[in-house]
Structure 1
Amino acid sequence: MEQSEISWKQTFKNQTFWVFRSLLLGIIIGPACYLLSYLIGLAGTVRDSHWWLIFALPLAGAFISWGYNRIDPVLRESSGTTMEIINWNIRKRTNPTENPDAPQKSISPWLAPVILVSTLISHIFGASIGKEGAGVQVGTSISSFLARTEMRLMKSDSSQDMGIWLCIGSGAAFGALFKAPIAGTLFGIMVASPNIARFDAMLPCLVGSLVASFISSSLSIGTPFVLGVVDLPWSIKNALIALCLGVAAGLLARLFFVCSMTARKLSSRLLPNQYVRTVVLSFVLVLCFVLIYLATGSLEYCSLSASLMNDSRPWSFVIKILLTVISLAAGFTGGEVVPTLVIGASAFRALGLIIPLPLPTLAVFGAIGMLSGATNLPLVCFALGLEVFGFANFEYLFIICVMSFIVSGRDSIYPNQLKA
């Protein structure tokens, strides 16, 4: 039997095993993401009905910090650990002479319940954070648990296999949360290393993301992003406008990085104690919410603030950046993707004062464009835009994603990405 035939059969066998594993992961992660989205929606309803809960935000923040320190402080670094495990095999293949040691850290089984509870608390009391970060960590926690279970039963230990498990878990969760299986697939293989994708995990990521997304859709995870996008005709003028909008989205993403990093470094230096830092910044958040309510009569800037994508004031994006940066520096959990989408959409709606394009179309360009620059994942964001908002203006959307990615630089809301 020829070597090529043996290699083909081995590849087919391995991929078949991974398809069954990814089916199992998708079946578990889909309902888990539905539960997360449902509970976050319920948390928002409770907060809206009991607005006074925002005054307890400092206590909520202190409780979250206590919980992490009590259970395992390393849980806060789980996102970085996930990327380190995924990237180990990439480093081994791209730098064979270095022979890097296998990662010594692992994903704790406590991650899923801890991140779920802390995210719900953050939303109930009004912190300006998202949900996808929590969902992805729930997915990686589940996949890590199943991987370790299989390794114990099979008496094997493969860091390469663990990396694929985590790719599937993160991709399936992302796809389920946004009902975007293609974006979920690309997210799973690219999030840890945007320049060198884990194509060995592509098929299982696709299967896991499709299954999880189908289940979450069947359980009726609704998307808060409903925009009546207007299809624009193809023209040189519109292409140049898209080019400029891509630059603006990249600069906006860069502004968000700088503000977020500055806030975290400054607060850590001035308030080195985690509990004191969380409580003080939570009081600042409460003060901001009160002032905003007195000025606008609304608490829509709390939590996800998805309504700002459809109706916002010219200065809404500035307020949302401020609240998100403070919430993240205080240690509240949930994620940054949804706030990034909201900031980008509200900022580009403000550009409608000077750019003669429909506001819903500008909102989509801003949301997806800023996310592309903020994540260093232009292909993921392009696919997400198509799956969530439709195929209208796909040429302009691609231009905006590429330009934003280039202009924003190497920084990302995922600081542990492999910069190859």
Structure 2
Amino acid sequence: MRLPPSARPLMQWLFLGGLVGIVSGVASAVFLYLLDLATDFRERHTAIVYTLPVAGLVLGALYDRWGKPIRGGNNLVIDSVHEGDTRIPLRMAPMVLLGTVLTHLFGGSAGREGTAVQMGGSLADAVARRFGVTATTRRELLAAGIAGGFGSVFGTPIAGTMFGLEVVVIGRMSYEALLPSLVAAVVGDLVTRGLGIVHTPYPVPAPLPLTVPLLGKWLVFAVAVAGVAVLFVELTHRLKKAWERHVPALPLRMAAGGALVVALWWLVGTDAYLGLGVPTILRAFSDPNLPGEAFALKLLFTALTLSAGFLGGEVTPLFFIGAALGNVLARLLGLPLDLGAAVGLAALFAAAANTPLALSIMAVELLGASVLPHVVIVSTVAYLLTGHRGIYPSQRLGRLKHGGPLLRRLVPLRELPQEPDRPGVDRAPE
């Protein structure tokens, strides 16, 4: 029996998307298992943090020798979606996994989304090459790899699906990749959970009806979130450029960055800002005595770690920064503490990554449906206020955030002039 033409794309994506989901889910499960082991070892043997500069020197030498083709990280994956001749080497998956686990083992402040996205992207590209798919199908498979990695590492398959569509182009959604992204994210999540991985449970805030005074508070909240998002993005990017300009050798750069992280750790006198920082994220939901400077310190630890070249992502550190900031703002604005932490957790990453829809859905998957209207409001306003910048310089801009016609071409954020409203960004005729 021959399948009708309309059923063939469905069967193709069930197979290819499912395959990407399986390999992404297995990779995430292995990664999360090793990450737990590394974190547990570091917490029981805190003195290992003093060796972070040495670890940076060795990691930098290894990465400088064998990792140059994959040094773009998440930006390489996004570039590959847009540029058919940009390949993602399969070595990215094991190298970024090992590098991130070692970063956490020795005390660097980093996340896990970057690793999952890069593993998903490199494995998806390997699947595309293995089956000799067209350039168009390959791009859609790469989006599925992003979705599969993101969804499986956080246990949020629907948010992973939306993230794979939304992160690639600001102002346009890649709906042609919707089905493969959904299949990869759902299958990846099922595989990761099936292999015994248990994701962190977050508190579920009680429902709070929207009122006019509450809307005013959320607007103030959004302004603060946008300001911190801009600070994180600009500090991380500028520190990275300064490191590359003054310390061009990657091993020395990572060693020096590791030394600064160790010095900062010694000065603050707590391990709370090392690694993922999940205990402090959970504490932000209930502790009115959380230090007001916690969000700023985590921001500094993370910017130093990532700008120096250590591997990992930004999501969980931004969750920490956002939840701690939300805790402070909730106390100042008279909001429920758990709701403030929940909204800050999701909205800060939404603003920094230009993905307000994905993070609004992620908030529901992690924190329950009661947070949805509040997260959407704050994420949207903060997303607009951050301007045309983000943690991924390779993100393409399809339309200016405040509206107007489509741009003549998709412009990477790294190529934008300081003020994209000025001449220099071509816009399509109205």
TM-score, length-normalised on structure 2?
Answer: 0.87
Task: Name the structure 2 match of 1:84.
Answer: 79
Partner of 2:291, secondary structure, is coil
Contact map agreement 2:353 2:392 (CA 8 A) in 1: yes
Partner of 1:230, secondary structure, is coil
Task: Name the structure 2 match of 1:207.
Answer: 183
**What is the letter of the counterpart of residue 368 of structure 1?**
A
Structure 1 stretch displaced more, 409-418 or 194-203: 194-203
Contact map agreement 1:68 1:75 (CA 8 A) in 2: no
Structure 1 vs Structure 2 CA RMSD: 1.6
Partner of 1:231, secondary structure, is coil
Task: Name the structure 2 match of 1:318.
Answer: 296
Structure 1 gaps of 5+ residues are: 1-7, 89-102, 152-156
Task: Name the structure 2 match of 1:365.
Answer: 343
Q: Structure 1 residue 377 and structure 2 residue 330: aligned?
A: no
Structure 1 stretch displaced more, 172-181 or 376-385: 172-181
The CA distance in 1 between the partners of 2:298 and 2:15, in whole Å, is 42
The CA deviation string for residues 107-159 of structure 1, in whole angstroms up to 9 with x for no partner, is: 101111100110111000000000111011111111111111111xxxxx622
CA positional deviation for 1:228: 4.1
The CA distance in 2 between the partners of 1:173 and 1:274, in whole Å, is 27
Q: Structure 1 residue 138 and structure 2 residue 119: aligned?
A: yes
The CA distance in 1 between the partners of 2:5 and 2:62, in whole Å, is 46
Task: Name the structure 1 match of 2:92.
Answer: 111
CA positional deviation for 1:247: 2.0
Contact map agreement 2:204 2:368 (CA 8 A) in 1: no
Contact map agreement 2:29 2:192 (CA 8 A) in 1: yes
The CA distance in 1 between the partners of 2:108 and 2:201, in whole Å, is 20
The CA distance in 2 between the partners of 1:225 and 1:412, in whole Å, is 28
Q: Structure 1 residue 38 and structure 2 residue 33: aligned?
A: yes
Return closer, same or farther for 1:85/1:268 CA change in 2, 3 Å cut-off.
closer
Contact map agreement 1:177 1:221 (CA 8 A) in 2: no
Q: Structure 1 residue 13 and structure 2 residue 2: aligned?
A: no
The CA deviation string for residues 351-382 of structure 1, in whole angstroms up to 9 with x for no partner, is: 23312112111111111111110010110010
Q: Structure 1 residue 22 and structure 2 residue 17: aligned?
A: yes
**What is the letter of the counterpart of residue 127 of structure 1?**
G
Task: Name the structure 2 match of 1:158.
Answer: 134
Spell out the pairing of 1:250-265 with structure 2 (5 A cutoff). 250-265=226-241
Task: Name the structure 2 match of 1:282.
Answer: 258
Partner of 1:120, secondary structure, is helix
Spell out the pairing of 1:189-338 with structure 2 (5 A cutoff). 189-224=165-200, 226-293=202-269, 298-311=270-283, 312-338=290-316
Greater per-residue helix proportion = 1
Contact map agreement 1:85 1:159 (CA 8 A) in 2: no
**What is the letter of the counterpart of residue 158 of structure 2?**
I
Structure 1 stretch displaced more, 246-255 or 72-81: 72-81
TM-score, length-normalised on structure 1?
Answer: 0.89
The CA distance in 2 between the partners of 1:165 and 1:393, in whole Å, is 32
The CA distance in 2 between the partners of 1:393 and 1:148, in whole Å, is 42
CA positional deviation for 1:69: 1.6
Identical columns (%): 28
Contact map agreement 2:166 2:355 (CA 8 A) in 1: yes
CA positional deviation for 1:410: 1.3
Contact map agreement 1:143 1:165 (CA 8 A) in 2: yes
2:152 to 168, 176, 200: 176
Structure 1 stretch displaced more, 323-332 or 346-355: 346-355
Structure 2 gaps of 5+ residues are: 284-289, 399-430
Spell out the pairing of 1:63-74 with structure 2 (5 A cutoff). 63-74=58-69
The CA distance in 1 between the partners of 2:197 and 2:391, in whole Å, is 25
Contact map agreement 1:87 1:193 (CA 8 A) in 2: no
The CA distance in 2 between the partners of 1:291 and 1:249, in whole Å, is 27
Contact map agreement 1:345 1:366 (CA 8 A) in 2: yes
Task: Report the count of equivalent residues.
Answer: 390
Task: Name the structure 1 match of 2:110.
Answer: 129
1:345 to 314, 323, 347: 323
Q: Structure 1 residue 399 and structure 2 residue 377: aligned?
A: yes
